[in-house]
Amino acid sequence: MIVYKSAEQIELIRQSCLLVSKTLAHVVSLLKPGVTGKELDIEAETLIRDNGAIPGFKGYNDFPATLCISKNDAVVHGIPNESEFKEGDIASIDCGVFMNGFFGDAAYTFALKEIPDETLKLLQRTKASLYKGIEQAIVGRRLGDISYAIQESTSGQYGYGVVRELVGHGVGENLHEAPEVPNYGKKGKGIRLQEGMVIAIEPMINLGTRKVKQSKDGWTVVTGDKKPSAHYEHTVAIGKDSADILSDHAPLELEIDKNDYLREILI
């Protein structure tokens, strides 16, 4: 059942999302070769708790960390560990927080300087597809309009693999609520979008096959052919004329611009 949010509740979700954005920006300021995912995870948890919030992922279905850090061929749900980042890595960093009774959720894929051109294009096009989906997140459209926009701008145009086993979701008092938001679908299909709906739109797009498998750790999802995967996410409220993006990538993109070790993903 979809839980519709009041304007006041949407503002509380926005505050949680903005803390996610602040956390990701802090993590990005530290991201460079030689740093470990575990070190970033500790920094993220400290910042979240210092702001009176709780990490949204840690303990969720027994997930052991504050961040999901998914490198290279990992799609999502990577567990931060002692492995050091190195030049040429890409990494999706996904963060959630729980504050004032509501969750916030956002993600971004980062590139440590020189990466193959085909990988850079994958990141740029996946990021662009997020905004193509958001353009459809308005009152009166159908859920399938969001899904189709993402699929057409990735698989349709470039032949990328659109992951089907993992989807976006509603956000509110629970981290994952109805409805599910697939990154593939048909125009005009699915539920009608209405005011009060808050959803996380998160394209997960593979350079090669759409097929994925789960690693032995029970969490990390990797591509079936070991080719890179990209993942970007915003939490948005359905709007009358345009979606209200509750999370904010601008702070972390400012940190990317200042970080000599990272490459901007321009679209």
Strands of the sheet containing 221-223, edge to edge, are: 74-76, 221-223, 212-214
- The b/e string for 205-222 (b: 16+ C-beta within 10 A; e otherwise) is bbbbebebeeeeeebbbb
**Helices 117-135 + 143-151 axis angle, to 10:** 160
CB atoms within 10 A of CB 159: 9
Residues of the chain with pLDDT below 50 are: none
pLDDT tens for 30-52 read 999 999 999 999 999 999 999 99
| Residue closest to 125 by CA, chosen among 94, 153, 89 | 153
Q: What is the pLDDT of residues 65-76, one digit of tens each?
A: 999 999 999 999
pLDDT at 45: 98
- Is the four-CA dihedral 151, 143, 224, 70 of positive or negative sign? positive
> What is the per-residue pLDDT for 57?
98
Q: What percent of the chain has pLDDT over 90?
A: 100
Share of the chain above pLDDT 70, in %: 100
pLDDT at 127: 98
Classify residue 236 by burial, with Cβ atoms within 10 Å: 0-12, 13-18, 19+.
buried
What structural domains does the chain harbor? 7-258 (3.90.230.10)
